[in-house]
Structure 1
Amino acid sequence: MSSDRFDIAIVGAGIAGASLAAFLAPHARVLLLEAEEQPGYHATGRSAAFWSESYGGPGIQPLTTASGPWLASPPEAFGGTSFLKDRGELFIGREQDRPALDAFMASFAGTGVPLTWTDPRGVVPGLRPEWTLAVTEPTCMDIDVGALHGQCLGVARRGGVRVATLAALERARSGWRLETRGGAFEADLLVNAAGAWADEVARIAGVTPVGIRPYRRTMVQLRVDPPAPMDMPLIRDASDQFYFKPEAGGRIWLSPHDEVPDDPRDAAPEELDVAIAIDRFEQAVDWRIEAVERKWAGLRSFAPDRLPVYGFDPRVTDFYWFAGQGGFGIQTAPAAAMIASSQLLSMPPDPAIAGIEAERYHPSRFGLT
Structure 2
Amino acid sequence: MTKTADFLIIGGGVAGLSAGAALAKHGRVLLLEAEDALGFHSSGRSATFSHFGIGGETVRALTAHSRAFFLDPPDGFGALARIMPAMFIANEAMLPALAELERITRTLSGAVERVDETSAARFCPALRWAPDAVVSAFVHREGLRLEPNALLQGYVRRIKAAGGEIVTGARVASIGPRWQVRTEAGVSYEAPVLVNAAGAWADRVATMAGVRPLGLTPLRRTIIGFDAPPATDVRDWPFVKTAVDHLYFMPDAGRLIASPVDENRDDPCDAQPDEYNMAVAAHRVTEFTTLEVGRFTHKWAGLRTFAADRVPVAGFAPDAQGFFWLAGQGGYGLQTAPAMAEIVEALVTGSAFPDVGATRSQIEPNRFSSSPRT
CA distance in 1, matches of 2:126, 2:239: 15
Is contact 2:222-2:259 (8 Å) kept? yes
Residue identity opposite 1:122 in structure 2: R
Partner of 1:167: 172
Which 5+ residue runs of structure 1 have no aligned equivalent? none
The question of 1:231 aligning with 2:236 is answered: yes
Deviation sequence 1:186-227 (CA, Å, 0-9, x none): 110111100000111111111111111100010111112143
Map residues 130-279 of structure 1 onto 2, 5 A cutoff. Answer: 130=130, 131-164=134-167, 165-172=170-177, 175-180=178-183, 181=185, 183-226=187-230, 227-249=232-254, 251-279=255-283
Map residues 335-354 of structure 1 onto 2, 5 A cutoff. Answer: 335-349=339-353, 353=355
Partner of 1:95: 92
Which 5+ residue runs of structure 2 have no aligned equivalent? none
Deviation sequence 1:131-170 (CA, Å, 0-9, x none): 1200211111100011111221122122211122133232
Deviation sequence 1:322-351 (CA, Å, 0-9, x none): 00000000000011011001111122345x
Q: What is the DSSP-based 3-state SS (H/G/I as helix, E as strand, rest coil) of the residue aligned with 1:225?
A: coil
Is contact 2:228-2:234 (8 Å) kept? no
Is contact 1:196-1:300 (8 Å) kept? yes
Partner of 2:79: 82
Map residues 298-317 of structure 1 onto 2, 5 A cutoff. Answer: 298-317=302-321
CA distance in 1, matches of 2:175, 2:129: 60
CA distance in 2, matches of 1:233, 1:241: 17
Is contact 2:241-2:248 (8 Å) kept? yes
CA distance in 2, matches of 1:167, 1:126: 48
Map residues 119-138 of structure 1 onto 2, 5 A cutoff. Answer: 119=116, 120-130=120-130, 131-138=134-141
Which deviates more, 341-350 or 278-287? 341-350
Q: What is the DSSP-based 3-state SS (H/G/I as helix, E as strand, rest coil) of the residue aligned with 1:292?
A: coil
Residue identity opposite 2:51 in structure 1: S
Structure 1 segments of 4 or more deviating over 6 A?
A: none
Q: What is the DSSP-based 3-state SS (H/G/I as helix, E as strand, rest coil) of the residue aligned with 1:196?
A: helix
CA distance in 1, matches of 2:338, 2:274: 33
C-alpha displacement at 1:3, in angstroms? 7.8
Q: What is the DSSP-based 3-state SS (H/G/I as helix, E as strand, rest coil) of the residue aligned with 2:331?
A: coil
Is contact 1:166-1:178 (8 Å) kept? no
Partner of 1:283: 287
Residue identity opposite 1:90 in structure 2: M
Q: What is the DSSP-based 3-state SS (H/G/I as helix, E as strand, rest coil) of the residue aligned with 1:253?
A: strand
Aligned-pair RMSD on alpha carbons?
1.9
Partner of 2:67: 68
CA distance in 2, matches of 1:115, 1:359: 31
TM, length-normalised to structure 1 = 0.92
TM, length-normalised to structure 2 = 0.91
Is contact 1:224-1:290 (8 Å) kept? no
Partner of 2:45: 46
CA distance in 1, matches of 2:245, 2:204: 30
CA distance in 2, matches of 1:185, 1:94: 54
Residue identity opposite 1:123 in structure 2: F
Identity %: 37
Deviation sequence 1:237-273 (CA, Å, 0-9, x none): 1222110111122x00111111111100000000010
Is contact 2:339-2:356 (8 Å) kept? no
CA distance in 1, matches of 2:53, 2:286: 25
CA distance in 1, matches of 2:186, 2:339: 32
CA distance in 2, matches of 1:198, 1:267: 16
Partner of 2:6: 7
Which deviates more, 337-346 or 325-334? 337-346
CA distance in 1, matches of 2:145, 2:356: 26
